[in-house]
Amino acid sequence: MISRASCILLLAAVTQLCACATVRDFLIPPARLAAPSAQEAHASKAPMADVVLHVGRIAGADPEARSIAVRGNRIVSVGPSSQVESLLAPATQILRYSSSFVRAGAIATPVRLDAAAMLSDAVDLHIATQPAAVRGLLADARLDVRAAGDWVWGYGLRKELLRTMTAADIDASTGGVPVLLTSEDGQAALLNSAMMLLEPPSMAEFLLRDGGRAEGLAALAAWHRAPPLRQERLRPLLLQALTEMQQQGITEVHVVGGSHALVEALVMLEHDRRLPLRCVVFLDGELPEGRALLQTSDAPTKQGLATVMRPNIPSLVRVAGVQFWLDSSNDAGPPHLHYTDAQLEEWILAADHTGHQVALNAISDDATAQLARVLAALQRPATALPVRVEHASSFLPRGGPVPAALAVTAPLVPGSIADFVLWSRDPDAPPQPGQPRAEPLLSMVGGQPSILSFADRDM
């Protein structure tokens, strides 16, 4: 049985998208692809390093390159270990992962933190093979105690079962408690009648037409539009999930699809001195607070985030930008989840203007192509933050496809932003018989190392 801690970590798992050259050429802003100027190259040799990593192999670098030196949020040297010796200072942090593989551009630890938190009192439906078994598991789950006035998540339902069941099939066994069930691959959902009453009217009407079932983008929309949990329930669940991440060596988590309620819960945990790690939040672009963040630099004040965020005071919680889901492969989904090229251009340029970052989830190939087309046409300032692209077909507590995330940044050369991940082996290479899957060991996000695993670290 996989531990809950492992389940939480799986929500933060990372795979690569930038290996595709046709996509990479479009996604990396041209200004960032350019080689550093002579002045930049000279400057990169001068400062002492804050962090030096000794690794096994560096993607795209000279075969002899084994070390990366970072100062602030920039790479200052990539090359043989002897090359970085002159950059060492007494305060330099030295990390050794001699068997690791380093690839640029990926940010580890993006997670649907609401899902990670709810996992502790969700209902596991993996073992159910018949509708009666689903009803039995729900009836035995003491949903009224789990919900405590909120709704309950059931996960792992076999898709063939979900497609044959309706809300009426589970209403009696849920006792009036709102319940949202998701399939094993996260691409389908079934809501009972009580849960549909909590959805916005347009979403509820859409769900009622198919007995509470939804697939693809519509299933994702049903999750997104479910009401936030009460703070009294949300905070302890968040604390438990974040504490388990900390125990696995994670020091920073990037949260996607965040809301005002989630930010409030995180800040209140910090206020009580109980927040165990740093949280970088990307607000849900379908929520008012998400859209407002791109309208003006003080939008959080107008949307009420100032009631919990203390301006100009260092905090473990940072609202970095806004996330939008772009999937265009399911025309049955609500139309407001499909965006035009002009809308994408508007959001990216607005984020550039306000100093925020846009995270775009491009599930389908069509959506990825649209994103590449928009970024290729945009004229962005050289100082703009990189667009963050997430290519994830689902988020799952166990089994099935794992989420992928990518921060589109410059390659691993001096002067580039220090965003990269150390892997246990090349994640793009097929595993040999008996070889374990590639696992992220450490993420470097804007110059800040977050250790994900100590497994391959030279102690």
Domain assignment of residue 151, yes or no = yes
- pLDDT higher at 102 or 253: 102
Residue 144 has what pLDDT?
Answer: 86
Q: Please tell me whether residues 247 and 289 are part of one structural domain.
A: yes
32 belongs to a structural domain: no
Q: Which residue carries 């990189």 as its tokens?
A: 386
Per-residue pLDDT band at 157 (split at 50, 70, 90):
very high
Examine the domain organization and report whether 315 and 332 are in the same domain: yes
CATH of the domain at 125: 3.10.310.70
Q: Is residue 218 domain-shared with residue 238, that is, in the same domain?
A: no
Q: Are 403 and 392 in contact (CB under 8 A)?
A: yes
**Domain end position, chosen among 199, 224, 249:** 224
Q: Tell me, what's the pLDDT at 433?
A: 76
Examine residue 31 and state whether it is found in any structural domain, yes or no.
Answer: no
Mean pLDDT, all residues of the chain: 75
- Same domain (yes/no): 270, 371: yes
User: pLDDT grade, residue 302 (50/70/90)?
Assistant: very low
pLDDT tens digit string along 20-75?
A: 322 222 222 333 333 444 434 444 455 799 999 999 999 888 889 999 999 987 88
Q: What is the pLDDT of residue 212?
A: 95
CB of 404 closer than 8 Å to CB of 16: yes
Q: For residue 87, what is the domain's CATH number?
A: 2.30.40.10
What are the backbone angles phi and psi of residue 238, rounded to the nearest 5°? -60, -45
In a domain? residue 24: no
Which residue matches tokens 């689902």? 394
Range of 49-58, 212-221, 322-331, 391-400 with top mean pLDDT: 49-58
What number is the average pLDDT over the span 214-220? 80
Residues 124 and 196 in one domain: yes
List of residues 6+ apart from 349 with CB closer than 8 A:
378, 380
Q: Please give the pLDDT value at position 1.
A: 40
Q: Would you state the pLDDT for residue 36?
A: 44
% of the chain with per-residue pLDDT over 70: 70
Would you state the torsion angle of the CA atoms of residues 328, 330, 333, 334, taken in this order, to the nearest 10 degrees? 20
In a domain? residue 127: yes
Residue 428 within any structural domain of the chain: yes
Residues 238 and 375 in one domain: yes
- Give yes or no: residues 398 and 429 share one domain: no
Our count of domains for the chain comes to: 3
H helix or E strand, kind and range, residue 70:
strand 67-71
264 belongs to a structural domain: yes
**Can you tell me the mean pLDDT for 431-457?**
69
Q: Per-residue confidence at 428, pLDDT binned at 50, 70, 90?
A: low
Task: Express each pLDDT in 74-105 by its tens digit.
Answer: 889 999 999 999 999 999 999 999 888 887 65
Query: Is residue 277 a contact partner of residue 250, using CB atoms and an 8 Å limit?
Result: yes
Same domain, 214 and 258: no
Q: Helix %, strand %, coil % for the chain, to 5?
A: 35, 20, 45
Tell me, yes or no, whether 331 and 244 share the same domain: yes
Within a domain: residue 25?
Answer: no
Specify the CATH number for the domain of residue 363: 3.20.20
Among the listed ranges 25-34, 164-173, 264-273, which one has the minimum average pLDDT value? 25-34
| End-of-domain residue from the set 163, 189, 224 | 224
| Sheet arrangement for strand 67-71 | 74-79, 67-71, 51-58, 93-104, 420-423, 440-445, 448-451
Looking at the fold, whether 156 and 96 belong to one and the same domain comes out as: no
Greater confidence (386 vs 165) lies with 165
Confidence of residue 301 (pLDDT cuts 50, 70, 90): very low
Q: 432 lies in which domain range?
A: 37-101+416-459
Residues 300 and 284 sit within 8 Å (Cβ to Cβ): no
| Dist CA 361 CA 369 (whole Å) | 12
Q: What is the pLDDT of residue 40?
A: 42
Residue 452 has a pLDDT of 58
Residues 243 and 183 in one domain: no
Checking if the pLDDT of 340 tops 70, the result is yes
- From the list 435, 457, 449, 422, the residue with the least C-alpha distance to 16 is 422
Q: Based on the fold, state whether residues 248 and 271 are members of the same structural domain.
A: yes
Q: End of a domain among 180, 202, 224?
A: 224
Token pair 């997670």 is found at 111
The predicted pLDDT at position 400 comes to: 31
